[in-house]
């Protein structure tokens, strides 16, 4: 797949990444100009340093078209086998694996910079664990979601479903939450959360049809417990 179309360049949307520049991080300061359209590089008028338009993204240093990389990463995120992508696009298996790892690392950095900033009033959080099929292994993945916005707050993978997984998941949630805010955590009653955040059980009636239940049951399909904690 070949695509020679270049990405549009807009200096007003860029900022100087040079840590020694007095204008570093300033957008719209009229200090960034186009240095080379063919190579898609900008230059800062203050420090005279040049930088790539892809600086700070997962595309930095890659020569393949952005559209191709986005398609490949999207297919991987939806579970498309790596070998199928290699065959369909004529790519090297190591190249596809490298793009996958780049995308994962960049997403983690964005999540830490945007979500894990201690600015969210979470109020209600739902946590759960699922078994994930892997190559010659079945690890566990813990997930946490902000109920009101359906924002994924945390995710962690472990070979065992133990207190370490629960601790790592709750630490990520705490990094997202505003300090000293009461937080309702809904789980399926796993003992690791009982020990960590003081979960107490809500009785669940089993039978035909759906019966009205308390808040903890409304927030999770399998949930029968909740905890109220203060994030500090």
Whether 50 and 71 share a structural domain: no
Rounded to 10 deg, the angle between the 82-89 and 66-77 helix axes is: 150
Whether 131 and 197 share a structural domain: yes
Nearest to 191 by CA among 153, 161, 229: 161
Tell me what the mean pLDDT of segment 37-56 comes to: 84
Report DSSP state, residue 8.
P
Whole-number pLDDT of residue 206: 47
Please check whether residue 34 lies inside any domain of the structure. yes
Whether 95 and 147 share a structural domain: no
Whole-number pLDDT of residue 197: 56
Domain count, the chain: 3
Please check whether residue 5 lies inside any domain of the structure. no
Whether 50 and 84 share a structural domain: no
Who has greater pLDDT, 105 or 195?
A: 105
Q: What is the largest CA-CA distance in the chain?
A: 72
Please check whether residue 196 lies inside any domain of the structure. yes
Cα gap 53→50, rounded to integer Å = 10
Would the CA dihedral through 192, 193, 197, 199 be positive or negative?
negative
Whether 77 and 101 share a structural domain: yes
pLDDT band at 6 (very low <50, low <70, confident <90, very high): low
Cα gap 205→110, rounded to integer Å = 42
Please check whether residue 129 lies inside any domain of the structure. yes
- Go through the chain and tell me how many residues it has: 232
Whole-number pLDDT of residue 213: 46
User: What is the tens place of the pLDDT at every residue in 128-183?
Assistant: 899 888 778 889 999 999 999 999 999 999 998 888 898 898 889 989 998 888 77
User: What is the tens place of the pLDDT at every residue in 53-88?
Assistant: 878 788 888 888 889 999 999 999 998 999 999 999
Please check whether residue 151 lies inside any domain of the structure. yes
CB atoms within 10 A of CB 14: 19
Report DSSP state, residue 6.
P
Please check whether residue 35 lies inside any domain of the structure. yes
Whole-number pLDDT of residue 90: 94
Please check whether residue 1 lies inside any domain of the structure. no
Whether 99 and 194 share a structural domain: no
134 forms beta bridges with 137
Domain final residue, candidates 55, 74, 103 = 55
* Stretch among 12-21, 45-54, 96-105, 188-197 having the lowest mean pLDDT: 188-197
Whether 159 and 104 share a structural domain: no
Check whether 215 has a pLDDT greater than 50.
no
- Contact assessment for residue 227 and residue 213, using Cβ atoms and an 8 Å cutoff: no
Listed in sequence order, the DSSP H helices in the chain are 66-77, 82-89, 93-114, 163-176, 191-197, 215-218
Whole-number pLDDT of residue 26: 82
Whole-number pLDDT of residue 208: 54
Cα radius of gyration (the chain)? 23
pLDDT band at 217 (very low <50, low <70, confident <90, very high): very low
- Contact assessment for residue 220 and residue 188, using Cβ atoms and an 8 Å cutoff: yes
Whether 81 and 156 share a structural domain: no
Please check whether residue 11 lies inside any domain of the structure. no
Domain span holding position 110: 64-114
Check whether 231 has a pLDDT greater than 90.
no
Whole-number pLDDT of residue 218: 37
- Contact assessment for residue 199 and residue 187, using Cβ atoms and an 8 Å cutoff: yes
Whether 128 and 223 share a structural domain: yes
Whether 199 and 133 share a structural domain: yes
Whole-number pLDDT of residue 155: 92
Mean pLDDT, all residues of the chain: 80
User: What is the tens place of the pLDDT at every residue in 13-31?
Assistant: 888 888 888 888 888 878 8
């Amino acid at each position: 797949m070949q695509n020679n179309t270049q990405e549009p360049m807009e200096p007003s949307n860029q900022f100087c990444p040079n840590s020694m520049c007095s204008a570093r991080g300033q957008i719209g300061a009229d200090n960034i100009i186009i240095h080379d359209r063919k190579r898609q590089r900008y230059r800062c008028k203050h420090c005279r340093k040049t930088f790539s338009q892809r600086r700070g993204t997962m595309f930095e240093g890659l020569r393949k078209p952005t559209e191709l990389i986005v398609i490949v990463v999207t297919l991987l995120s939806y579970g498309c086998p790596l070998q199928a992508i290699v065959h369909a696009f004529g790519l090297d298996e190591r190249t596809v694996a490298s793009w996958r790892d780049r995308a994962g690392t960049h997403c983690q950095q964005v999540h830490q910079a945007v979500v894990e900033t201690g600015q969210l009033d979470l109020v209600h959080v739902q946590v759960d664990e699922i078994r994930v099929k892997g190559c010659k292994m079945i690890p566990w993945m813990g997930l946490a979601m902000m109920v009101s916005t359906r924002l994924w707050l945390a995710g962690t993978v472990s070979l065992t479903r133990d207190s370490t997984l629960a601790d790592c998941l709750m630490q990520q949630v705490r990094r997202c939450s505003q300090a000293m805010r009461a937080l309702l955590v809904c789980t399926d009653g796993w003992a690791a959360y009982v020990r960590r955040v003081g979960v107490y059980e809500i009785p669940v009636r089993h039978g035909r049809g759906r019966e009205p239940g308390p808040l903890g049951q409304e927030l999770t399909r399998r949930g029968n417990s909740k905890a109220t904690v203060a994030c500090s």
